[in-house]
Amino acid sequence: MKFLSILILVFLSAQEFFPQVNFTSSNLPIVVINTEGKTILDEPKINAFMGIIFNGDGIINYITDPFNNYEGKIGIEIRGSSSQLFPKKQYGFETWDDDGEDLDVSLLGFPEESDWILSAPYSDKTLLRNVLTYKIANDLGRYASRTKFCELVLNGEYMGVYILMEKIKRDKNRVNIKKLEAEDIAGDKLTGGYIIKIDKQEGTVTGGWNSPSWNYNNGNRKVYYQYEYPSGDDLTTEQINYIQSFILNFETVLYGSGSDKPFGGYYDIIDIDSFIDFFIVNETAKNVDGYRLSTFLYKNRESEGGKLNLGPVWDFNLAYGNANYDDGWKTEGWEVFYDNNSYWRTPFWAMKLMDNSIFKNRFAKRWNELRSTVLSSNYLNTFIDSTTSDFEQARIRNFEKWNVLDSAVWPNYFVGETYEEEIDYLKDWLINRLNWIDENVSQIYSSVEWKNEDEIYTENKYSFSVNDFVSNINNVDSVTFFVNTSTAQIKTQNDSIYITANSDYEVLLRGIAWRDNKKVDFSPAYLIKNGITSVEEKTNTINSEYSLSQNYPNPFNPTTTISFTIPNVEDANFAPSTLKVFDVLGREVATLVNEYKSAGTYKVEFDASSAGGGLSSGIYFYTITSGKFFATKKMLLIK
């Protein structure tokens, strides 16, 4: 309570008087909101009117001009957590039709939607930190909220400079993943799309769950994952079980000693490049809330890639040296490894990834490439200078309204006497931060240019050249190749890859690059279809009349039905047919069939509750070998 009392006193001292500002025109869009005397609450949204005047970039907008960008109803509420104590409030609003229903519209040139945010930079006296961050993320090729500076008039009172922003939502123009319907409870549709977040729970109505996310340095930490899309109220039991099981599998793999094994490692679960870009943005800004708060993750359907993505980035008002706690003002140190020992801590998997040799190498490669382009000091300084020049008159009015320059506002570390001093501090801090990361990221990184990941090798041959998979190699000692099944064997010799098998097969092959006895890169998983039973037999092909499938349900709990077909061909008499189930570590957990089978279609029930003493939730693989036919497929157990 002592901290809260001090905080309130700071706000009260800053609130001694907020003068009325003579506001008639702006080179920024003008947003006018009228609540007709109603008080805007934290929740629920209240009915209000909004009009926007925007005559185009570079054209002066007058408060007496007609509303020409939007004119109509909105539902509006106060948003944020600690920022709600600031006198300058930030708002979330929905555009509504006459019946109070969501109305998708385009505001200030943004793609049509109904959910919007009016962000109110207050402790960030540059007014730039969020805009700068989302610019960086966009330049990295990642979606981040579009932003547009504007000036707000609320119930006839000038309220200063605001930033119109998009709320993070599933949308083809925002987080572009498949829509998840209530009836999507099985098969591919169940697997996406989902948006979850790690954040404070105050005010959330989306629901969530505590995951057993282990402490990187022993002990336990419970990370609370919130359902962002769909909300907890809209999710079915099957969907809740699926996404919780998927995240648990992600954490289990990352926690294990084989997290970067050739198959079943973390890079089969996550989009590693999205994680690296997220880390780069957070570390560039040294965001004190990074990783542990305002952190979003999303997952699309398996048919659309299906991997877990980290992002979009969100909420950087306290970044770039703007926090006087948790070493937030320092330009040195990795934020991902900072442990503030608070209730909200960095998930272990973020630290585990940053300690992984493959992840670090990818981070170094990406970082060094970006430093000569969108993360160069000149590029970032030019953006800061041009942006501040564009809204000079508006920001002068903003600080007439909110007289916080030369005053400490929580949690400022630096307090400039003028706006120019605040900008100089930001630019100097950013340059020093970039230089520190340069000094602590290897300038020599390993790089492998792998061939097209969608390419399927179907040649009837038993050997390949390394050049079939690799175009270029830099700073790599060696590349080794692996297959995903014990029914095929692989060896490399003199830059050639030899594959043999006991039957016709369809296997995945992956390359791993090594430097200084550490894994530094990995290839896509190449699908190899072949018909070799030995190095002498080169012409056999897979008989397409064989089949293997999981009939229903998938995911399952605890039983499911697996079917397979044995055709009327001579191959079927060569050896018994076997149907086995393996876990993600390649351990056999059940043998369902091991006998000679005549031609026909067979159905076998698999009961996970009796296999191996009872199996836990997770991904499993079922594999059939029959004559020269081999196939393996994935299924998901959710309890």
- In tens, the pLDDT along 334-344 reads 999 997 777 77
Give yes or no: residues 207 and 243 share one domain: yes
pLDDT digits (tens, 9 = 90+) for 498-511: 887 766 667 888 99
Q: In the predicted model, what is the mean pLDDT of the chain?
A: 87
Q: Are strands 157-166 and 194-198 parallel, antiparallel or unpaired?
A: unpaired
Instruction: Indicate the pTM of the whole model.
Output: 0.81
Residue 482, number of CB atoms within 10 A of its CB: 17
Cα 162 to the center of its chain, rounded Å = 27
Q: Does residue 82 sit within a domain?
A: yes
Higher pLDDT, 156 or 6: 156
For residues 140 and 266, membership in a common domain is answered with no
Specify whether 200 is located in the same domain as 312: yes
Q: For 581, what's the count of Cα atoms within 13 Å in the CB-facing half-sphere? A: 25
Task: With respect to residue 308, please indicate whether it lies within any of the assigned structural domains.
Answer: yes
CB distance 198 to 234 below 8 Å: no
The Cα 509–Cα 490 span in angstroms is 9
Do residue 455 and residue 562 come from a single domain?
Answer: no
Residues 252, 143: one domain? Answer: no
Identify whether residues 396 and 467 lie together within a single domain: no
- Select from 6, 182, 14 the least CA-distant residue to 87: 14
pLDDT confidence bin for 100, thresholds 50/70/90: very high
Number of separate domains in the chain: 4
What is residue 447's predicted lDDT score, i.e. its pLDDT? 93
Specify if 133 maps to a domain: yes
What are the tens digits of pLDDT across the range 484-543? 887 778 888 778 888 877 666 678 889 999 999 999 999 998 888 765 443 332 222 333
CATH code (residue 567): 2.60.40.3080
Q: Is 76 inside a domain boundary?
A: yes
Amino acid 2: pLDDT: 31
C-alpha to C-alpha distance for 157 and 23, rounded to whole angstroms: 9
Together in a domain, 224 and 360: yes
Q: What distance in Å separates the CA atoms of residue 459 and residue 474, rounded to the nearest whole number?
A: 29
46-67 confidence digits (pLDDT tens):
999 999 999 999 999 999 999 9
In this predicted structure, what is the pLDDT of residue 489? 81
* 375 in Cβ contact with 434 (< 8 Å): yes
Q: Is residue 8 part of a domain?
A: yes
Residue 420: inside a domain, yes or no?
no
Range of the domain at 488: 447-530
- Between 285-294, 453-462, 627-636, the lowest mean confidence (pLDDT) is in 453-462
Length reported for the chain: 639
> Could you report the per-residue pLDDT of 565-587, keeping only the tens digit for each?
877 654 444 457 889 888 766 67
Is the pLDDT at 383 greater than 50? The verdict is yes
Long-range contacts formed by 35-39: CB under 8 A, 24+ apart: 35/76, 35/154, 35/155, 37/155
pLDDT at 34 over 70: yes
Residue with tokens 């007496």: 64
Predicted pLDDT at 409: 96
pLDDT at 488: 79
Q: Is the pLDDT of residue 219 over 60?
A: no
* pLDDT given at position 415: 97
Please count the other Cβ atoms lying within 10 Å of the Cβ belonging to residue 200: 16
Direct distance between the N- and C-terminal alpha carbons of the chain, in angstroms, rounded to an integer = 42
Give the per-residue pLDDT at 238. 94
Answer yes or no: do 229 and 350 share one domain: yes
Position 635 scores a pLDDT of 85
Query: Per-residue pLDDT tens for 433-477?
Result: 999 999 999 999 999 999 876 677 776 667 888 888 998 899 999
Do 362 and 408 reside in the same domain of the chain? Answer: no
Co-location of 558 and 484 in the same domain: no
397 occurs within a structural domain: yes
Classify residue 157: in a domain, yes or no: yes
Q: How confident is the model at residue 431 (pLDDT cuts 50, 70, 90)?
A: very high
pLDDT above 70 for 6: no
User: Higher-confidence residue: 345 or 524?
Assistant: 524
pLDDT tens-digit series, residues 389-398? 999 999 999 9
Q: What percent of the chain has pLDDT over 90?
A: 63
> What is the per-residue pLDDT for 420?
98
Average pLDDT over residues 125-143: 98
**Residues 222-262: tens digit of each pLDDT:** 788 999 999 999 999 999 999 999 999 999 898 887 898 99
pLDDT bucket at 293, cuts 50 / 70 / 90? very high
Contact partners, residue 11, CB within 8 Å, separation at least 6:
85, 86, 87
d(CA 227, CA 108): 29
Long-range contacts of 417-424 (CB under 8 A, 24+ apart): 419/125, 419/126, 419/388, 419/395, 422/125, 422/126, 423/126, 423/128, 423/384, 423/388
Amino acid at position 52, single letter: I
> In sequence order, which ranges of 322-376 are alpha helices (DSSP H)?
348-354, 357-370
* pLDDT value, residue 576: 72
CATH number, domain with residue 453 = 2.60.40
Q: For residues 562 and 547, what is the distance between their CA atoms, to the nearest angstrom? A: 11
Q: Are residues 326 and 233 in the same domain?
A: yes
CA 312 – CA 297 distance, rounded (Å): 7
Q: With a cut of 60, say whether residue 176 has pLDDT above it.
A: yes
Higher pLDDT, 493 or 378: 378
Residues 583 and 471 in one domain: no
